[in-house]
C-alpha cells in the first residue's frame, strides 16, 4: 500500500491511497484544476481514481468532491450525516457508510472510525491490506478511547498536530473560533498529538506524517520541538505541508 498527499491544512486537504488497482482519494478541498495539477505532480491522473472517500463536511475536505465526482463519474463514500449536512447536488454514485461499518474495495479493507469533531457524522479511516494498517487521523478535538483503540496499531499514520495552544490564544482568530479549534470537538494541539504518539504501538509504527498544521496558530519548528521526543524512535517522520502535501510513502 502507498499513500501521498495533495495538500494538508485548513486551506485544503486531499490524500491518495494506492493499492493494486485501487486509487482512492480521501477528501478533496481543492478546485478541479488544482486536483488535476496536484495528482499529476504525484505521477498519477485523476482518471485513475477509483473512489473518493469523505471524512466530513468542512470545506477544506468536501468542497472539491461534488464537482470532481461529476466531472470524472467517481463513486463517493461518506456517512449519511456528512451527506445530509450540505446540498451536494447530484452525485453519480453515492455509497453511504452506515454505522461506521468496515467495507471492502477489492481486497483493501476500509474501516471508518467515529471521531470527536464539530461535524455531523465525521469519520476518519484505517486502511488494511496485506497485513499492513494505514491510519488517517485529522480533524478531531481529543483522542477518545474509541479512536485510540482503532489507531493504536498502525504501520503508517497521518496524524494531525494542528495548533500550539499559546499561539492559538494570542493569534488572529475571533474568540468563538479559538474556543472551537481548541475545544474537545475541534483540532488536536501539538501536545495532544505527542501524548497520543507516546501511547501507540511504537514497535509497529514505521512511518509518521504530521499534518493539518495550522499556518496561523502553529509553526513547523514548534510542532517539531514538541514532537521530537516521542518521534525519536520512529524510523521515518515527515511533516506535510499545505501546498506540497507529501510524496508517496510505501507502507
Ligand atoms: Zn480540516
Ligand atoms: Zn474539520
Quick: pLDDT tens for 189-247.
Answer: 999 999 999 999 999 999 999 999 999 999 999 999 999 999 999 999 999 999 999 99
Ligand nearest to C-alpha 136 = 1
The whole-model pTM stands at 0.97
Give 107-122 pLDDT, tens digit per residue.
999 999 999 999 999 9
Q: Give me the sheet containing 123-129, strands edge to edge.
A: 103-105, 108-114, 123-129, 132-137, 156-160, 207-211, 236-239
Distance 198 CA to ligand 2 centre (A): 24
Is the CA virtual torsion 151, 24, 112, 117 positive or negative? positive
How remote is the CA of residue 40 from the centroid of ligand 1, in Å? 23
Query: What's the mean per-residue pLDDT of the chain?
Result: 98
Q: Please, which residues have CB within 8 angstroms of residue 190's CB and are 6 or more apart in sequence?
A: 161, 163, 164, 218, 222, 223, 226, 227
The set of cell numbers assigned to 81 is: 450525516
pLDDT of residue 198: 98
Ligand 2 centre to CA of 190 (Å) is 17
- Rounded Cα distance between 158 and 246, Å, is 11
Distance CA 22, CA 136 (A): 17
Amino acid at each position: 500500500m502507498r499513500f501521498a498527499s495533495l495538500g494538508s491544512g485548513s486551506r485544503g486537504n486531499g490524500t491518495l491511497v494506492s493499492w493494486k488497482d485501487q486509487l482512492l482519494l480521501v477528501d478533496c478541498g481543492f478546485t478541479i484544476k488544482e486536483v488535476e495539477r496536484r495528482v499529476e505532480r504525484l505521477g498519477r491522473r485523476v482518471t485513475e481514481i477509483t473512489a473518493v472517500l469523505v471524512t466530513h463536511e468542512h470545506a477544506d475536505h468536501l468542497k472539491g468532491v461534488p464537482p470532481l465526482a461529476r466531472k470524472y463519474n467517481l463513486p463517493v463514500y461518506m456517512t449519511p450525516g456528512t451527506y445530509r449536512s450540505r446540498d451536494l447536488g447530484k452525485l453519480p454514485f453515492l455509497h453511504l457508510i452506515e454505522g461506521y461499518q468496515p467495507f471492502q474495495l477489492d481486497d483493501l479493507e476500509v474501516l471508518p472510525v467515529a471521531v470527536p469533531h464539530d461535524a455531523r457524522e465525521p469519520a476518519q479511516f484505517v486502511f488494511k491490506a496485506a497485513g499492513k494498517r494505514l491510519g488517517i487521523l485529522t480533524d478531531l478535538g481529543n483522542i477518545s478511547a474509541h479512536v485510540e483503540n482503532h489507531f493504536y496499531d498502525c504501520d503508517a499514520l497521518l496524524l494531525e498536530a494542528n495548533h500550539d495552544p499559546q499561539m492559538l490564544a494570542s493569534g488572529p482568530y475571533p474568540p468563538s473560533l479559538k474556543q472551537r479549534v481548541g475545544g474537545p470537538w475541534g483540532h488536536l494541539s501539538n501536545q495532544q498529538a505527542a501524548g497520543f504518539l507516546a501511547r501507540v504501538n511504537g514497535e509497529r509504527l514505521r512511518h509518521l506524517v504530521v499534518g493539518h498544521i495550522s499556518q496561523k496558530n502553529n509553526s513547523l519548528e514548534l510542532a517539531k520541538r514538541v514532537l521530537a521526543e516521542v518521534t525519536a524512535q520512529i524510523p521515518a517522520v515527515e511533516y506535510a505541508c499545505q501546498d506540497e502535501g507529501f510524496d508517496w510513502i510505501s507502507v
